[in-house]
Amino acid sequence: MLSLNDITIRMGGRAIINGASATLPARGCVGLVGRNGAGKSTLMKALAGVIDVDGGRIDKPRAARLGWLKQDAPAGSASAFDTVLAADTERAALLAEEEAGAPPDRLADLHERLIAIDAYTAPARAARILKGLGFDEAIWRMRVALASLLFTGPDILLLDEPSNHLDLESALWLEDFLLSYPGLIVLISHERDLLNRVAGYILHLEAGKVTLYAGNYDGFEKQRAERLAQLEAARTAQAAQRAKLQDYIARNSARASTAKQAQSRAKALARMQPVAEAATDPTMKFDFPSPQPLRPPLITLDHAQVGYDGHPVLSDLDIRLDPDDRLALVGRNGNGKTTLARLLIGQLPAMTGGRNATGKLKVGYFTQYQVEELDRDATPLQHMTRAMKGATPAAVRAQLGRFGFSGPAAEQKIGTMSGGERARLALALVTRDAPHLIVLDEPTNHLDIDARQALVQALAGYEGAVVVVSHDRHLIEATADRLVLVDGGRAAPFDGSIDDYETLVLAKPSEPAPAPAAKAPRLDPKEARRQAAARREAAQPLRKAMQTAEAKLARLTAARDALDGKLAEPGADITALMQERGQMDLGIAAAEEEWIAASEAYDAAVAAP
């Protein structure tokens, strides 16, 4: 069992965690969630004993072994870059001989041979190949660190965004592993599917406080929504009560006959603790500019082959992209998803075969490298002004505003921004020209769950084509109309959903994966959107009935809260008011059932057949 007892943690004089308390279970998985910047990693460091709390205490079993996976890549002497260079054994042997001090007559031969095999350009070639294959040194180190940590099997396992460094296939394996883990897991993650499958509890960090919810992430969202609705109803009732008291005080303070009652009301008003307002983030915004229409196809690959330095990575590629296509590339890291993406947008040439693209095509290409390469001393306004040469200041600020960088937010230093804010800025930069095609290579790594949902909604409203490479199943499921499996040097359509692909990945090698269930022919995306709009139009009476029921429930709840205020007034007729409250409770229960029935009827009417 792990307990937080009224703990406070300060950073730079500011309380990041302020009087937080919670008791975690002895085993199972607890998902630690909260907005970017809320203090999740800080709390994790305190749980790991890396930093001390400024107040309160953290209790854990004395003999419990604890393991911690940090967000940052660990240091080490091993290097994937060095491993690639070492593969050229002749180069390594010649360089070693040169460094050892070969005799002059041998030295000339050494230099001649080193030049012949391009030995001195090898580091640049190795770096180019690793980058092209989507291989990242930090990710490689993180995988080793995660494997080592899981191998030791600590009693308390602290994981800070472990799936950020995994491809979809590895993330699925990790889920299965964590489901059977015998100890306590505290998991920071922005992966909705991971938290839904693995977590039995959600520890929500907000405004320096923590609240423990039983259930997975979807359950947490539902419970929190109910809690926020109750909070808003309480705020509304309190505001009405405060207004009533203030009005009474204003009208009766000057009259001697009612001055004492007015003073009593003033004291009650002073004692009234304000109900906290629900935290919101007005900058949680994505809005991709829609492009000018182009005739299909945007891009075609015809028996194309692509690779590096004459060595093919993918061959026999036949792909067509149309203006309304939504495509997800799936497959293990290192199989060539990033290489295929770079071929599609024209960053890499086809070694053989053909790549044809319409001449007016504009492409927005997002990668994690762009997030890391932002000038930390500049501001979003300076970055966007450089990128949009010749644009008016109003146009520059309009593009920034589409992604939540309005007013002072546009002029903050990038070095002070969170990873999610920098990712949002990178997305704003790559879409500044209203591209016809957006290619997103792991766009969600730095985004919290709310920001990921905002990205999904923005892509739903975007009128261009989308190609996404991601290990976030929720993003793929909500965004992609079709999947392309990149595997074994080929890229071919995958005839199935993301769930079918998960079944394929998790199937044991000795057991063939079940074939995807037969599916109805896929509708044209435009026709699908037209039918969805028609269903929504036909369901308008049901929607109105749902809204009416919701408004009725809100009125009854507010009336009950007002009645509760009357119960606290001096001289109140408690018996009569309690009888009235009982009748209100019955009315509220009936209104809740009416609202639920109306909501279910509307959802069923607008759902896809």
- For 187, phi then psi, to 5°, come to -125, 115
- Whether the bond into 541 is cis, omega within 30 of 0: no
Q: Write down the domain spans for the chain.
A: 2-74+136-220, 84-132, 299-522, 523-609
Predicted pLDDT of residue 124: 73
- For 19, phi then psi, to 5°, come to 65, 45
Which helix or strand (DSSP H or E) is residue 214 part of? strand 209-214
Superfamily of chain region 2-74+136-220 = P-loop containing nucleotide triphosphate hydrolases (3.40.50.300)
Predicted pLDDT of residue 469: 94
- For 38, phi then psi, to 5°, come to -70, -25
Q: What is the DSSP letter of 120?
A: G
Q: 252 is written with which tokens?
A: 């009766």
Beta partners for 15?
Answer: 10
Q: Hey, is 164 helix, strand or coil?
A: helix
534 Rama class: left (phi>0) / alpha (psi -120 to 50) / beta: alpha
Q: Is the CB of residue 489 less than 8 Å from the CB of residue 314?
A: yes
Integer-rounded Cα radius of gyration of the chain = 30
Task: Please tell me the distance from the alpha carbon of residue 553 to that of residue 236, in angstroms, as a whole number.
Answer: 14
Q: Hey, is 446 helix, strand or coil?
A: coil
Chain centre distance of CA 34: 11
Predicted pLDDT of residue 378: 94
Q: 486 is written with which tokens?
A: 């990149």
Beta partners for 158?
Answer: 68, 186
Closest by CA position to 206, among listed 41, 451, 39, 22: 39
Write the secondary structure of 168-199 as one string of H (helix), E (strand) and C (coil). Answer: HHHHHHHHHHHHCCCCEEEEECCCHHHHHHHC
pTM given for the model: 0.64
Sheet holding 352-357, edge to edge: 311-321, 299-308, 352-357
Torsion, Cα 535 536 541 542, to 10 degrees, reads 90
Predicted pLDDT of residue 510: 39
Architecture of the domain spanning 299-522 = 3-Layer(aba) Sandwich (3.40)
| The two domains 2-74+136-220 and 299-522 share their CATH topology (first three levels equal) | yes
- For 96, phi then psi, to 5°, come to -65, -40
Which residue bears the tokens 């086809």?
A: 350
In one-letter notation, the amino acid at residue 84 is V
Cα separations in angstroms, 28 against 24, 104, 201, 303, 512: 9, 68, 8, 50, 31
Question: Over the chain (609 residues), what is each successive 10-residue block's mean pLDDT?
Answer: 92 88 93 88 92 93 84 56 71 82 79 80 70 58 72 86 80 86 92 92 92 92 83 78 81 75 74 58 71 93 92 94 93 89 94 92 90 90 94 94 90 88 92 95 86 88 93 89 93 90 72 46 56 65 73 74 66 66 72 69 62
